[in-house]
Structure 1
Amino acid sequence: MSQPTPPPVPPAGNPYAGEPADRPPVPQQGVPQQDAPAAPQGAPQPGFPVAPFAPAAPARGNFALGLAAALGAGLVSAVLYGIVIGLTKHEIGYAAVGVGFLVGIAAGRAGGRSQSLPVAGVIFSVAAIYLGQLIGEAMIIAKQVGVGFNEVFFDHLGFVQDSWKADADPLTFVFFAVAAYVAFQSARKAGL
């Protein structure tokens, strides 16, 4: 019968490098040793080039910046939505969703984790939809009457609002609700 052999004992050094067990491992240049203190997180590591500047951290929790971004996005998207309505002579639901999305994303990305920004996004998106519909209505009236948009919108805004009220149907208010929901959700998710 054969006798069992004892399992091999691994050498003290690196078993895969083939170093003899009686010689200590050779430290490699640029690699910190285990007994060396670790550098703090974010500190430049030895052997790596240091960038001349660090990128700015995104603003988190800046309510005023988020509010300003939501207002700006609301104004821009209201004008674009109004132009779409004026050119097509129809309210387009996807455009209303786009208004809510743009306002919410702008509020969340610029303002961060503020709990009030999704609510502000809802308010600004509904106001942007309303302003966009008034702009579209004024464009349609200006084409029908043959006068300039500025004269209709700024000099006869009461007539434009009365015309909007006469043309408003339940689908108009569905667009308000959808845009508000999209603005709330996108501001909440973008602020994470």
Structure 2
Amino acid sequence: MSQPVPPPGNPYAQGASDPSAGQNPYAQGVPGQQPAGQNPFGPGASQQPGQNPFGAYPPAPAPAPRRNNVGLGILAAVAAALVTAGIYGAILGGIEAQIGWAAVGVGFAVGFAAGKVGGSNPALPVVSALLSLGAVYLGQLVGIAVYASKEFHVSFTDIFLDDFGGLTTAWSEGKDVMTFLFLALGAAAAFSGAKKAAA
């Protein structure tokens, strides 16, 4: 009895004359299938090697140029010293007492203004500390004048402008350890503020 011969071209028959005999038509090499080891859904499916499949990232911004203008920094520090001295004096005269945080605020404002405008010049923290000493001292004089104007019912401007020598005498007679401590706190805060603002 003869064995039936499978029809020619049957890809599933054993020993068929098809050149791909013995191979699974659903295995590798089927047209349209990705090569072995490559994920058709991976990032390399449609992009070139090294290309970001989610789009290019924007370039990092260039660093800002460092400021270094000593003159403008000193002018800013002087302006801050005058403004904060007036505020500091008004606080002292209003509450009739000295408070450390106010002196620290004066110094930090002076140093911050110098560093923000003038940049990282190493002279600015030192200049800021010196200007802060003057600002705290001037603020204490303003505070004495504010207190005296309330106590003696005299105009503040008359006391501050016409009797400035009397104010300095009153400051000298009333100074104590805390007075110099507040001066030092203001200077330290100015030095630190200038460093931080220029960073």
Q: What TM-score comes out, normalization by structure 1 length?
A: 0.73
What displacement does 1:59 show? 6.0
Task: Report the equivalent of 1:10.
Answer: 37
Would the aligned equivalents of 1:86 and 1:137 in 2 still touch at CA under 8 Å?
A: yes
Asked whether 1:187 is paired with 2:187, we answer no
Task: Report the equivalent of 1:146.
Answer: 153
Aligned structure 1 segments of 4 or more residues deviating by more than 6 angstroms: none
Where does the alignment leave 5 or more consecutive residues of structure 1 unmatched? 1-7, 33-38, 44-56
What displacement does 1:58 show? 6.8
User: C-alpha separation between the residues in 2 aligned to 1:122 and 1:42?
Assistant: 34
Q: 1:99 to 1:18 in 2, by over 3 A?
A: closer
Residue pairs, 1:1-192, within 5 angstroms? 9-11=36-38, 15-17=39-41, 25=46, 31=55, 60-192=67-199
Would the aligned equivalents of 2:66 and 2:120 in 1 still touch at CA under 8 Å?
A: no
Q: 1:16 to 1:111 in 2, by over 3 A?
A: farther
Would the aligned equivalents of 1:59 and 1:110 in 2 still touch at CA under 8 Å?
A: no
What displacement does 1:135 show? 0.5
User: C-alpha separation between the residues in 2 aligned to 1:42 and 1:88?
Assistant: 49
CA deviations 1:56-114 (Å, max 9, x no partner) are x5761121221111111111110000000111111111100111111111111111111
User: C-alpha separation between the residues in 1 aligned to 2:85 and 2:65?
Assistant: 27
User: C-alpha separation between the residues in 2 aligned to 1:58 and 1:124?
Assistant: 27
Return the index of the structure with the highest Cα Rg.
2
User: C-alpha separation between the residues in 2 aligned to 1:136 and 1:179?
Assistant: 16
Task: Report the equivalent of 1:52.
Answer: none
What displacement does 1:40 show? 7.8
- Amino-acid identity (%): 41
Aligned residues: 160
Q: 1:172 to 1:41 in 2, by over 3 A?
A: closer
What displacement does 1:25 show? 2.9
2:89 aligned partner, one-letter code: G
User: C-alpha separation between the residues in 1 aligned to 2:82 and 2:60?
Assistant: 42
CA RMSD of aligned residues (A): 2.9
Would the aligned equivalents of 2:124 and 2:194 in 1 still touch at CA under 8 Å?
A: yes
Would the aligned equivalents of 1:121 and 1:184 in 2 still touch at CA under 8 Å?
A: yes
Task: Report the equivalent of 2:28.
Answer: none
User: C-alpha separation between the residues in 1 aligned to 2:92 and 2:119?
Assistant: 32
User: C-alpha separation between the residues in 2 aligned to 1:40 and 1:18?
Assistant: 25
Task: Report the equivalent of 2:12.
Answer: none
User: C-alpha separation between the residues in 1 aligned to 2:60 and 2:100?
Assistant: 48
Where does the alignment leave 5 or more consecutive residues of structure 2 unmatched? 1-34
CA deviations 1:155-181 (Å, max 9, x no partner) are 010011101111111110000111111
Would the aligned equivalents of 1:70 and 1:103 in 2 still touch at CA under 8 Å?
A: yes
Q: What TM-score comes out, normalization by structure 2 length?
A: 0.71
